[in-house]
Structure 1
Amino acid sequence: MTGRLVIVGAGQAGFALAAKLRALKDTRPITMIGLEDVFPYQRPPLSKKYLLGEMSFDRLTFRPDAWFAENDVEVRLSTFVEEIDRDKKTVRMQDGSVLEYENLALATGSTPRTLPASIGGDLEGVYTVRDKRDADRLAGEMKAGRRLLIIGGGYIGLEAAAVARHLGLEVTLIEMADRILARVAAKETADIMRGIHDAHGVVIREKTGLARLIGEDGKVRAAELSDGSVIDVDVVIVGIGVTPNDRLAQDCGLDVGNGIVVDEFARTSDPSIFAMGDCVTLPWQGGRIRLESVQNAVDQAESVAATLAGGTAPYEPKPWFWSDQYDVKLQIAGFNLGYEETLLRPGAREGAVSIWYFREGRLIAVDAVNDAKAYVSGKKMLETGKNPDKALLADPATDLKQLMA
């Protein structure tokens, strides 16, 4: 095919699709449309090394700006698509200009949930962190001695807490659920991570929600919590999840349900339109899931590139994730959805531990805390279908290589 590919979204998935097509020697015209005013870049370091000042922005970009022209990838920045006309196979931009496409790829990502204005969500000093602009604005607030409230005890909230403590802020984190990481990890993992944050001086208040933020002259000054207590705050970071950016797809009549519905080839209900990354819901073990991860964005996009270039292999997700907090690296292989039991295995060195998840007696995921060997072994078991003997796995004397034989 030689018709134009239009990629809506200039993030991880959008860039991976364009780069892989060019690596496959596919020469079709490509136009990538991005809302921001900068060329595609990595987002995970924004809230970590970039915010800490340990990494400059030029180190976050996937390729030098010149790469796009050299590889005939047109990038339209600071703009967005307002409408898709599937009959005419066109997209209309915000300035009224129209682009024709042979194939369309939606890599629109997701948007952080925000607090309602009625409880102070629109006050100055209240942030979500998703892009460079968010990180740049927040950087000016992250000063030693200031009081930070983090709303949400998922990975985003915990990573923000680690960065803030490194910068010398006083940090309180609240979580409405019974414990932190309630949606994404077992109690054992949550207990380990809570202990690490306790040791670094983070005040974690579980079973505690936000009643309202209190402002003065438009700036956040305090927070009233669900238990009636009031704490003084200077800055608030909201980490209460994201919603998939599927409005464009819905407006043009594509199937949508907690994300853009795609098949095993990342095709939408319109065979000329693909979707990938955080914005999609994809097939998984007889059901449907959303995978919010860099790994999925890249792998799914590269699978779409292979399909467009003439390949016939479906995308088979092999989930893995990571989270860096202080000097702790949490690596996750697999997807623990529906787990029924867990097994905790001490690592070979101090501070290393892994949590293994099972459903119907079979291994489905592993969380490895400062234990790269457990992560690599667990990932290999999952990819090869090996199911470890639980008694041997629980014994720290057992060499994990034995369990993969």
Structure 2
Amino acid sequence: MTAPLARVVIVGASLAGLRTAAALRDHGFTGSLTIVGDEPHPPYDRPPLSKQVLTDETAPDPALPVPEPLGAQWKLGRSAVRLEPHERVVLLDDGTGLPYDGVVLATGSGARGWPEPRPVQGIHTLRTREDALRVRAELRPGRRVVVVGAGFLGGELAAAARARSAHVTLVEASRQPLERAIGAAPGAWIAGLHRESGVDLRTATTVTAFRADGDRVRGVALSDGTEHAADTVLLALGGTPATGWLAGSGLDLGHGVRCDSRLRALDPAGAVVPGVVAAGDVARVPQPLAGGEAIALGHWTTATEHAITAARTLLDPTTSAPHTAVPSFWSDLHGARIRSVGLPTLADEVLVHEHDLPGRHLKVTYLRRGRLIGALTVNRTRSLTAYRRELHAASEAFAP
């Protein structure tokens, strides 16, 4: 270690936070370790919330296993309200100050809501375990559910509602679901999958108003001039990095905490802020596949990979390796297994190799300036192995 590291504070009892704590111990850190979480629960896995938890009332608890002995002091049900990098202190909402030698920012992202005014009851977002339980209680046979936003989360919400025999209307502003994320042709494949599964998909359409009975939602008006009855509305409008508590800290907070390739937080001038690293959804990290462009990725695998880099950087930033892992993502819609690697969103060319909706198969590659930057398959997971290998070699080659 280049400097004594006796006290580490991890803000965010998340996947990224827990994995960073474990990585610190695995790499020999024996000092004080404090983990702060604004929810009352120990860390839990979020992907099952929009999958198993919504569809199966007997689904196992999504709690993440905590390594023993982790030797951490837990501050659960407490929120960090301010970071003082010069004094090296994290301030909590109960007035407690936590001094640190190193701090990990792992607060993730929050669900984007709807501007007020809106009905108070019957409109939900999905981010926490409590959100999932509330939404599941609404998904019953015959219920009329409107899902706003047909991205990966919105698609999973629609699929879960159909699995519980609800009537589903899925509203998407783009011409196809996931068009900006995976391209128009793959998006059309996903659109066909939704429609074949009984979802009333409305594309190139937005919600213009909610209809209410008192303070309870009863329907939505759409920009195509139609109105749809709704017992429940689920908002899947994307996420926003949870950086509000970092205002005034001197960090560069545009679209997440901007970091260097070793996950060290930067100030607006691009200088490293000593003792501060970020990991997971909240971190905006240079991506070698994107020519070093700093991007925040809300992927499960990214959070786990960031954890190792963040821990090594805190322990010895002079020898830690840059983050070069290839991003990957998965989703399951109406029984179809969707898998992707790389950065399809940044492609300037989309090549469709297989487009078989009846057979439930899709294979697509993505190029940027003639180079492979991503791949996506449906029910062709083995096909990704070669693409992942090629992307990993490219990422290593372009790493700083």
Q: Does the pair score TM above 0.5?
A: yes
Amino acid at match of 1:354: K
- For residues 26 and 39 of structure 2, the distance between their equivalents in structure 1, rounded to whole angstroms, comes to 25
1:380-391 pair list within 5 angstroms: 380-385=389-394
Structure 2 counterpart of 1:319: 327
- For residues 39 and 100 of structure 1, the distance between their equivalents in structure 2, rounded to whole angstroms, comes to 22
1:356-367 pair list within 5 angstroms: 356-367=365-376
Structure 1 counterpart of 2:299: 293
1:226-250: CA deviations, max 9, x gaps? 1222111000110111111112223
1:141-160 pair list within 5 angstroms: 141-160=138-157
Structure 2 counterpart of 1:47: 50
1:86 aligns with 2:85: yes
Structure 2 counterpart of 1:24: 27
The worse-fitting range, judged by mean Cα deviation, of 49-58 and 160-169 is: 49-58
- For residues 346 and 226 of structure 1, the distance between their equivalents in structure 2, rounded to whole angstroms, comes to 34
Q: 1:2 to 1:55 in 2, by over 3 A?
A: farther
Could you tell me which of 372, 377, 380 is aligned with 1:371?
380
- For residues 358 and 71 of structure 1, the distance between their equivalents in structure 2, rounded to whole angstroms, comes to 43
1:97-176 pair list within 5 angstroms: 97-118=96-117, 120=118, 122-176=119-173
The worse-fitting range, judged by mean Cα deviation, of 308-317 and 216-225 is: 308-317
Tell me if the contact between 2:125 and 2:131 (Cα under 8 Å) persists in the aligned partners. Answer: yes
The worse-fitting range, judged by mean Cα deviation, of 273-282 and 143-152 is: 273-282
Structure 2 counterpart of 1:338: 346
Tell me if the contact between 1:224 and 1:230 (Cα under 8 Å) persists in the aligned partners. Answer: yes
- For residues 90 and 338 of structure 1, the distance between their equivalents in structure 2, rounded to whole angstroms, comes to 38
1:338-396: CA deviations, max 9, x gaps? 3222222239994332001112221111111100121222112211349xxxxxxxxxx
Task: Give 1:55 shift.
Answer: 5.4
- For residues 23 and 272 of structure 1, the distance between their equivalents in structure 2, rounded to whole angstroms, comes to 19
Amino acid at match of 1:307: T
Amino acid at match of 2:332: D
- For residues 260 and 129 of structure 2, the distance between their equivalents in structure 1, rounded to whole angstroms, comes to 32
1:307 aligns with 2:307: no
SS at match of 1:281: strand
User: Over the residues paired in the alignment, what is the CA RMSD in angstroms?
Assistant: 1.9
Task: Give 1:308 shift.
Answer: 2.5
- For residues 263 and 22 of structure 1, the distance between their equivalents in structure 2, rounded to whole angstroms, comes to 23
1:25-54: CA deviations, max 9, x gaps? 321211000011111010010111011126
1:171-191: CA deviations, max 9, x gaps? 000111222112201122111
Tell me if the contact between 1:259 and 1:279 (Cα under 8 Å) persists in the aligned partners. Answer: yes
Aligned residues: 380
SS at match of 1:168: coil
Task: Give 1:87 shift.
Answer: 2.3
The worse-fitting range, judged by mean Cα deviation, of 299-308 and 32-41 is: 299-308
Tell me if the contact between 1:347 and 1:371 (Cα under 8 Å) persists in the aligned partners. Answer: no
1:58-107: CA deviations, max 9, x gaps? 3x21115xx46x32111111111122222221112111111110111111
Amino acid at match of 1:112: A
- For residues 337 and 130 of structure 1, the distance between their equivalents in structure 2, rounded to whole angstroms, comes to 23
SS at match of 1:51: helix
Structure with higher RCO (Cα < 8 A, 6+ apart):
2
SS at match of 2:29: coil
1:119-152: CA deviations, max 9, x gaps? x2x4201000001011111121111100000001
Structure 1 counterpart of 2:278: 275
Q: 1:186 to 1:4 in 2, by over 3 A?
A: same
SS at match of 1:117: coil
SS at match of 2:35: strand
- For residues 372 and 85 of structure 2, the distance between their equivalents in structure 1, rounded to whole angstroms, comes to 43
Structure 1 residue runs without a partner (length 5+):
387-405
Task: Give 1:13 shift.
Answer: 0.7
Could you tell me which of 211, 222, 232 is aligned with 1:235?
232
Tell me if the contact between 1:188 and 1:355 (Cα under 8 Å) persists in the aligned partners. Answer: no
1:243-297: CA deviations, max 9, x gaps? 1111222321212211111111111121211111111211122322111111111
Could you tell me which of 65, 83, 86 is aligned with 1:63?
65
SS at match of 1:140: helix
TM-score scaled by structure 2? 0.91
Structure 2 counterpart of 1:3: 6
- For residues 60 and 103 of structure 2, the distance between their equivalents in structure 1, rounded to whole angstroms, comes to 29
Q: 1:57 to 1:117 in 2, by over 3 A?
A: farther
Tell me if the contact between 2:88 and 2:100 (Cα under 8 Å) persists in the aligned partners. Answer: yes
- For residues 375 and 58 of structure 2, the distance between their equivalents in structure 1, rounded to whole angstroms, comes to 30
Tell me if the contact between 2:21 and 2:70 (Cα under 8 Å) persists in the aligned partners. Answer: no
- For residues 57 and 215 of structure 1, the distance between their equivalents in structure 2, rounded to whole angstroms, comes to 36
Task: Give 1:309 shift.
Answer: 3.1
Tell me if the contact between 2:189 and 2:355 (Cα under 8 Å) persists in the aligned partners. Answer: no
The worse-fitting range, judged by mean Cα deviation, of 347-356 and 287-296 is: 347-356
- For residues 111 and 138 of structure 1, the distance between their equivalents in structure 2, rounded to whole angstroms, comes to 17
The worse-fitting range, judged by mean Cα deviation, of 342-351 and 364-373 is: 342-351
Q: 1:46 to 1:337 in 2, by over 3 A?
A: closer
